[in-house]
Structure 1
Amino acid sequence: MRRDKNFWNLGWAGKASLALALMAGLAPGWAQSAGVVSDGLKVGAHTQPLNTPEEFVKLKRSAISPVVPALVDLGEWGGLKSQDLHGGNGAFQVAAKRQSAASSSVIATNKLLKWQASASGGEIAAISFESADAFGLRLGVQIDSLPGSALLRVYAQGRRDEAFEIAGQRVLQTLEANLKAGDDSAEGRTWWTPGADGEELTLEIELPAGTPGSLVQISVPSIVHVYHDLSLPLESDVTPNTGKAEVIGNSGACNLDSTCYEEYRSQRDAVARMVYITPAGGYLCTGTLLNDKSSSGTPYFVTANHCISSQTVASTLQTFWFFRTPTCNARTLSSATKTLQNGATLLYTSVSPDATLLRLNDTPPAGAVFAGWDASAQRANASVVALHHPAGDLQKISFGAISTTSTCGPVDVTVMCAPMNDMSGDYYRVKWSQGTTQGGSSGSGLFVGGYLTATLSSGTATCSNRAGHDDYARFDRVYPAMKPWLNPVIDTGAGTGTGGTGDGKRAAVYRFYNTQTGAHFYTANAGERDYVIGNYPAFQYENVAFYAYPAATTDQSPIFRFFNTKTGAHFYTANAAERDYVISEYPVFKYEGPVWFAQTQTGNSSVPIYRFFNTKTGAHFYTVNAAERDFVIAAYPVFKYEGPVYYVWTTQ
């Protein structure tokens, strides 16, 4: 059976167009906000610049030696599909969990991991999972121990060159977020891989030289089996002679293609399709990227509580951007579509009003819009527009008006609402004149005059029930709780007011591992990162290590960098006295100046960065991850632990 490749969109979108500017020390500019009303209750939209660097870039490396994976065949899946939710009431289930007895424990998985020598002098092993008749798979990798410099690749057999690649330290960051949120269960220790279309998915692990396979202690007790065909043909896959591909989409016939309405371009570019995993299986919802008052570019993302209500579920999130047709009613998927694979951080959630605020762990793609919002009350009969992904379909648009308000409460996994006779309820009740909503539309935004004013919670509207209604959680009722992020009070004297994060946007600090020397290299300069990737194959790219400020801000201290001209390693310190001592006493260390700014004391949601000294090579190693810190202490006695040295952040 043919499986298109764009449901999970394992293709990469890394661009190096900023390299020269960044190497010259220039920071990317932000597109201008549409404006802020003086009372702070209305914020305009903001567009992600075209030169925005992305974390997961396509690596130009020499061919990796092929690996023969161990095979785990789960056979046919005998489960029944969960009932499809065709109204706006509830998330849309698209996948179920299957248990894998062959890899259910560390001992069983270790037997499957047949370690062999890699081309880089380390070790490599892989496991392939098959589930008959699946439209797609994701693997639940439960991690007991994982080296931070391990590279994990996820791909379908025959498409290894399209593999999603992530460093162990980045995976550990995800699991530490779950633990900090209070989840020390097996589910909290599970990293859910990105997916691929089809009945098979391979997990490959490569270790650097000097790191034995015995240090990898993982299991794969369950997988997610996608039973709804969510694959859609790209416009480039359409045969020119026919002009059209197969009929696509699972949503009702009365839904309207959002691409046909250019006047809503800004709003539609803020909306993403969501796929995430709960203990019950895989689900679809819709969410909206939100701007903040300072247009900082921080990826705040709003959806419904009944979609995502815990950090562990937020960590599984994938978001699909520009998931719509390339032209009006084209019936194909735009080739501009992009997927973010790395989950989100849960900031706020409320059962009623039914709303959740997340911060995406990845940078939204260039051209994505941070939607404007209006935290004032809306009037009855106000005209409204909704943008959403019903049943996970290509983006749709609906037109209607607010009829009244309602009061709602949760019942099991759904939300039940009753109308009010006035505008005092916590939900807007909406009647549609064109279009509708379905399962999968949940969490999507309601716009009045171009500003987000509510998120979809519940409803009875369908294509066959034109008298039905939908209930949207009012943004003005949840805004006070979200205000610390969307409109923080900044104390210009201290630099960090109530809920504030300082005077600027944090920048990603990228991490490399030198496979020849065993030393790590860190840079906050995306141009330098791309230069290293392109010109130094011995440097293994390990994704974002942490976040810091790219320029001087109130209450932040410079981090100084040195280059050891004898060993090629770099040294970093926040201590000016230590900097001066190195300059004075160690001429072999070339001083390279401040490279980013961080805190020397705890606070402001920062985390410590731990430092080690390699007594064998003289190099230093830095990590923000407590699990990696403990792993290094236990596994590498040559590394002398020196404790926390300054404080950074794990998110933007």
Structure 2
Amino acid sequence: MSCRTVSSWSSALGGDGLRWVTTLIVAGSCGWAQASWQVDARRMPASPSTVEAKDAVALSAMAVVPIVLPPWQDSKALAPDEGGVRQIGVARALEAMDTVDKVAPLLQWQTLPSGQQVAALQWRADDAYGLRLGLEFAALPPMAVFRLYASPQAAASYEVTGAALLERLAADAQTGQRTWWTPDVGPTPVLEILLPAALATSSLQWSMPQLSQIVVPPSVAEPMKAADMAALSEKRRYNACQLDVNCQQTLLDQRDAVIRMFYVSQGRTFQCTGTLLNNPSQDLTPYVLTAAHCVKDQATASTLQTSWFYYSQYCDSAQLYAGHAERFSAARWLATSMATDMTLLLLDEAPPPGALFAGWDAGALPPGGAVAGLHHPHGDLMMLASGVLEDRTACSVDASSRALDCASQTQSDGGFYRVIWSLGGIEGGSSGSALFFRGRVAGTLTGGDQWCAAKDGRVVYGRLDQAIASFAAWLGADKAMNSDMHMPVYRFLVLRSGGEFYTLSAPERDHVIASFPNDLVFDGIAFYAAGRAHARLVPVHRYFNPEVVAHFYTASDAERQFVQTYHPSWNYDGIAWWSPAQPGDGVGAVYRAYQYVPGVHHYSLQVQARDAWLANAGLLYDGLAYYVWDAP
């Protein structure tokens, strides 16, 4: 692979304008053979059972400990829009909760009639638009339940289990701690924690050295609290600089694939734009494409919160579309192509009904072709920019200086498209948004000219055709695993407990059928897994609970330790099978829920079953249990 030094044009990614200068970057024929294929769009079907927040009976805790924050005064902590992203939240140190020993006395544990132990805290910042709490877990039991309310009187909560957080959050390499940035539900959030009766409260150990305070409104569609806040970063350009997506006809379907993204980095909250992508399997796997300079690792992906259908009610209306929706359950980081400034994510929660899985084009686009971008400039309602593709070029993104350097001449094998706008323009918050060509996604926005209106302004997009090799395992170019590893896993229904029994062993299947005809009902093949260890596979362990005659399956080492410590009477049956470590083509998620009475777990690959569990007060949704192959 040969490279050469070339002269280039350069633009600052931040600021109100663009300064064209000459610089030097390393570029050249540093590409690889590219595939060329297209995928059509598919819409998320309407599903009345889908719920955005689990209905909670009322706040269970009788006492809520208040934590009041002093006014925020450090305006220098809020930077101008940088690198095409928009900062809306600042990091605030919380000395009163920065160690486990300081948090423990604040948790006034109470015992509920069910035997569960509960404690609740409420934070309040009068000058905030919202708060995101940064919980650092030194010890997190999988059976813990966390509920986040907008206020003590709120009728609904966001709920997550310790098991789901252990699976979602990356452990710090040095300390082993996991940090959970809670969703933003408003400026007065209540965090309620529930633990099983048999679990000591000391088994949960956490601190909160900082939180992220939202200090400017997420968009101009949301009222500001005071004029002095407006002076900090809300120097908004006139609406004439952007075209409301509802004031044109070409990409009205595609608008339902574009999402407004919020995430936390070093305690600061930022905004970018992303796009929901389809895959050749048409299986509604929620892949999201965005810029690498927005999200490039699991730590950031774990903080993701998204807004859907965030556009106007009608053309040039300042009113938000009544059907907009929020999702809070973060994402899995799958892969990043630094050479094209692109990242592929997998959402941990299903998109709302009606969302569009956008089609995409992994072929090289022709110069002179008409293109358009859908984005959330300044975090606002969705806008459209349009123009023509000028050429292909090589660029580099410097994360430290937040500079974008691109070669002045055309480079056909470069990782970026250069686009000239004829209508509209980009702003902070636009980064990561998709470039559409003939209705399909072909790239993601890195940065460029932020003049508004940006007629004849240049912007650059990472090329999907150059990044597709990094995303091929998930977008359908090849199999993530070897197909000859697929073996059927059989399912039985246990009549006494109402639970399920799974086995990979055909002899064991036959033994159960023959020996327990009145106790277990054979239900056929549930899914496919591997019978031995293999690269990129993880073991799924099986336990038997004799008290309720039910089996428990987990791929989590933390859950194994919990069972061994607190359920020594459960029999360990060994490794049941080996499953894919990550999602990919032909790989499906197995969801898990716990039924309080009689005390059994249920498993399913069906999204419909998961949604029914979320809506059932008698069940606790445990999240994603592990992955399997859903076809041989």
Mapped partners of 1:588, 1:570: distance in 2: 15
Q: CA deviation at 1:284?
A: 0.7
Structure 1, unaligned stretches of length 5 or more?
A: 1-38, 235-247, 490-497, 503-552
Task: Give CA deviations for 1:602-621 in whole Å, capped at 9, x if unaligned.
Answer: 44844322222335554332
- 1:302 and 2:251 equivalent? no
Task: Give CA deviations for 1:73-103 in whole Å, capped at 9, x if unaligned.
Answer: 231223225565458x432111112122222
Question: Structure 2 vs 1, CA of residues 251 and 82 (structure 1 numbering), >3 Å: closer, same or farther?
Answer: farther
| Equivalent position of 1:450 in the other structure | 439
Q: CA deviation at 1:586?
A: 4.1
- 1:216 and 2:211 equivalent? no
Q: CA deviation at 1:250?
A: 5.2
| Equivalent position of 2:64 in the other structure | 69
For residues 611-622 of structure 1, the aligned pairs below 5 Å read: 611-614=542-545, 616-622=547-553
Mapped partners of 1:483, 1:595: distance in 2: 29
Secondary structure of 2:387 counterpart = strand
- 1:327 and 2:307 equivalent? no
- 1:610 and 2:599 equivalent? no
Q: CA deviation at 1:433?
A: 1.3
| Equivalent position of 2:623 in the other structure | none
Question: Structure 2 vs 1, CA of residues 263 and 597 (structure 1 numbering), >3 Å: closer, same or farther?
Answer: same
User: Is the Cα contact below 8 Å between 1:47 and 1:368 reproduced in 2?
Assistant: yes
- 1:408 and 2:395 equivalent? yes
Residues paired across the two proteins, number: 535
Look up the equivalent residue of 1:341 and give its one-letter code: F
| Equivalent position of 1:22 in the other structure | none
| Equivalent position of 1:44 in the other structure | 40
- 1:115 and 2:109 equivalent? yes
Mapped partners of 2:95, 2:113: distance in 1: 32
Which shows bigger deviation, 157-166 or 353-362?
157-166
- 1:637 and 2:565 equivalent? no
Task: Give CA deviations for 1:324-380 in whole Å, capped at 9, x if unaligned.
Answer: 112222211112112221222222112222111112222222211111112222222
Question: Structure 2 vs 1, CA of residues 85 and 439 (structure 1 numbering), >3 Å: closer, same or farther?
Answer: farther
Question: Structure 2 vs 1, CA of residues 155 and 310 (structure 1 numbering), >3 Å: closer, same or farther?
Answer: same
| Equivalent position of 1:101 in the other structure | 95
Mapped partners of 1:184, 1:54: distance in 2: 37
Look up the equivalent residue of 2:423 and give its one-letter code: Q
For residues 518-533 of structure 1, the aligned pairs below 5 Å read: none
Look up the equivalent residue of 1:339 and give its one-letter code: E
| Equivalent position of 1:281 in the other structure | 268
**Residue number among 269, 277, 302 corresponding to 1:290 in the alignment:** 277
Look up the equivalent residue of 2:480 and give its one-letter code: G
TM-score scaled by length of structure 2: 0.78
Mapped partners of 2:190, 2:57: distance in 1: 20
Mapped partners of 2:218, 2:458: distance in 1: 27
**Residue number among 482, 486, 489 corresponding to 2:475 in the alignment:** 486
TM-score scaled by length of structure 1: 0.76
For residues 572-583 of structure 1, the aligned pairs below 5 Å read: 572-583=502-513
For residues 132-171 of structure 1, the aligned pairs below 5 Å read: 132-171=126-165
Task: Give CA deviations for 1:606-640 in whole Å, capped at 9, x if unaligned.
Answer: 43222223355543322222112222223333334
Mapped partners of 1:267, 1:145: distance in 2: 43
**Residue number among 365, 368, 384 corresponding to 1:381 in the alignment:** 368
| Equivalent position of 1:532 in the other structure | none
Look up the equivalent residue of 1:369 and give its one-letter code: L
| Equivalent position of 1:266 in the other structure | 253
Question: Structure 2 vs 1, CA of residues 83 and 108 (structure 1 numbering), >3 Å: closer, same or farther?
Answer: closer
| Equivalent position of 1:523 in the other structure | none
- 1:461 and 2:450 equivalent? yes
User: Is the Cα contact below 8 Å between 2:433 and 2:445 reproduced in 1?
Assistant: yes
Question: Structure 2 vs 1, CA of residues 312 and 559 (structure 1 numbering), >3 Å: closer, same or farther?
Answer: farther
Mapped partners of 2:175, 2:207: distance in 1: 11
User: Is the Cα contact below 8 Å between 2:61 and 2:192 reproduced in 1?
Assistant: no
Look up the equivalent residue of 2:216 and give its one-letter code: H
Mapped partners of 1:322, 1:363: distance in 2: 14
User: Is the Cα contact below 8 Å between 2:36 and 2:465 reproduced in 1?
Assistant: no
Look up the equivalent residue of 1:74 and give its one-letter code: L
| Equivalent position of 2:612 in the other structure | none
User: Is the Cα contact below 8 Å between 2:84 and 2:428 reproduced in 1?
Assistant: yes
Mapped partners of 1:100, 1:595: distance in 2: 52
| Equivalent position of 1:499 in the other structure | 480
Look up the equivalent residue of 1:218 and give its one-letter code: W
Which shows bigger deviation, 620-629 or 633-642?
633-642
- 1:351 and 2:338 equivalent? yes
Task: Give CA deviations for 1:42-95 in whole Å, capped at 9, x if unaligned.
Answer: 222121122396476634x655544322222231223225565458x4321111
Mapped partners of 2:38, 2:374: distance in 1: 20
| Equivalent position of 2:119 in the other structure | 125
Q: CA deviation at 1:470?
A: 1.0
Question: Structure 2 vs 1, CA of residues 82 and 105 (structure 1 numbering), >3 Å: closer, same or farther?
Answer: closer
Mapped partners of 1:188, 1:390: distance in 2: 35
Secondary structure of 1:477 counterpart = helix
Which shows bigger deviation, 399-408 or 184-193?
184-193
Question: Structure 2 vs 1, CA of residues 475 and 437 (structure 1 numbering), >3 Å: closer, same or farther?
Answer: same
Q: CA deviation at 1:230?
A: 1.7
Mapped partners of 2:513, 2:406: distance in 1: 71
Mapped partners of 2:420, 2:486: distance in 1: 51
Which shows bigger deviation, 608-617 or 345-354?
608-617
**Residue number among 316, 327, 340 corresponding to 2:327 in the alignment:** 340
Q: CA deviation at 1:384?
A: 1.0
User: Is the Cα contact below 8 Å between 2:98 and 2:208 reproduced in 1?
Assistant: yes
User: Is the Cα contact below 8 Å between 1:43 and 1:374 reproduced in 2?
Assistant: yes
Question: Structure 2 vs 1, CA of residues 594 and 462 (structure 1 numbering), >3 Å: closer, same or farther?
Answer: farther
Secondary structure of 2:54 counterpart = coil
Mapped partners of 1:192, 1:68: distance in 2: 24
Task: Give CA deviations for 1:99-132 in whole Å, capped at 9, x if unaligned.
Answer: 2222222222121111101242211101112234
User: Is the Cα contact below 8 Å between 1:129 and 1:202 reproduced in 2?
Assistant: yes
Look up the equivalent residue of 1:561 and give its one-letter code: F
For residues 577-596 of structure 1, the aligned pairs below 5 Å read: 577-586=507-516, 589-594=519-524, 596=526
| Equivalent position of 1:435 in the other structure | 424
Question: Structure 2 vs 1, CA of residues 207 and 588 (structure 1 numbering), >3 Å: closer, same or farther?
Answer: farther
Mapped partners of 1:363, 1:284: distance in 2: 21
- 1:371 and 2:371 equivalent? no
User: Is the Cα contact below 8 Å between 2:245 and 2:374 reproduced in 1?
Assistant: yes
For residues 549-564 of structure 1, the aligned pairs below 5 Å read: 555-564=486-495
Which shows bigger deviation, 78-87 or 94-103?
78-87
Secondary structure of 1:77 counterpart = coil
Q: CA deviation at 1:396?
A: 0.8
Question: Structure 2 vs 1, CA of residues 252 and 73 (structure 1 numbering), >3 Å: closer, same or farther?
Answer: same
Give the fraction of aligned pairs with identical amino acids, expressed as a percent: 34
| Equivalent position of 1:627 in the other structure | 558
Look up the equivalent residue of 1:629 and give its one-letter code: R
User: Is the Cα contact below 8 Å between 2:54 and 2:158 reproduced in 1?
Assistant: no
Q: CA deviation at 1:579?
A: 3.3
Secondary structure of 2:125 counterpart = strand
Structure 2, unaligned stretches of length 5 or more?
A: 1-34, 223-233, 584-588, 590-632
Task: Give CA deviations for 1:499-544 in whole Å, capped at 9, x if unaligned.
Answer: 3687xxxxxxxxxxxxxxxxxxxxxxxxxxxxxxxxxxxxxxxxxx
